Amino acid sequence: MQVSETHRPHSAMDKAAVQAAYRRWAGIYDGAFGAISRPARHRTVSRINALPGRDVLEVGVGTGLALPLYDPGKRVTGIDLSAEMLARARTRTDRLRLGHVAGLHEMDAEATGFPDQSFDIAVAMFVASVVPHPRRLMAEMRRLVRPSGHLLFVNHFIARGGPRRWVERGMAPASHALGWHPDFAVEALLDPADAARAEFVSTRPFGIFTLVHLPMTEGAED
Domain membership of residue 2 (yes or no) is no
120-162, pLDDT tens digit by residue?
999 999 899 888 899 999 999 999 999 999 999 998 887 654 4
Query: What is the pLDDT, as a whole number, of residue 176?
Result: 47
Q: Where are the beta strands (DSSP E) in 116-197?
A: 119-125, 145-155
Hey, what amino acid is at 20? A
Q: What per-residue string of b and e applies to 162-188 under the rule 16 or more CB within 10 Å gives b?
A: eeeeeebeeebeebbeebbbbbbbbbb
CATH code of the domain covering residue 203 = 3.40.50.150
By residue range, what is the domain housing residue 170? 15-215
Domain membership of residue 80 (yes or no) is yes
Domain membership of residue 5 (yes or no) is no
Q: What pTM does this model have? A: 0.79
5-58, pLDDT tens digit by residue?
233 333 345 666 555 555 555 455 554 555 788 899 999 999 999 999 999 999
Domain membership of residue 104 (yes or no) is yes
Domain membership of residue 33 (yes or no) is yes
Domain membership of residue 41 (yes or no) is yes
Domain membership of residue 37 (yes or no) is yes
pLDDT at 76 exceeding the cut of 70: yes
Query: What is the pLDDT, as a whole number, of residue 181?
Result: 59
CA torsion 131-135-137-138 (nearest 10°) is 140
> Considering the chain, what percentage of its residues have pLDDT values greater than 70?
70
Domain membership of residue 64 (yes or no) is yes
HSE toward the beta carbon, residue 115, CA cutoff 13 A = 2
3-class state of residue 197 by DSSP: helix
Distance CA 131, CA 166 (A): 23
> Considering the chain, what percentage of its residues have pLDDT values greater than 90?
59
pLDDT at 3 exceeding the cut of 50: no
What is the count of structural domains for the chain?
1
Give the residue, 1 or 192, on which the prediction is more confident: 192
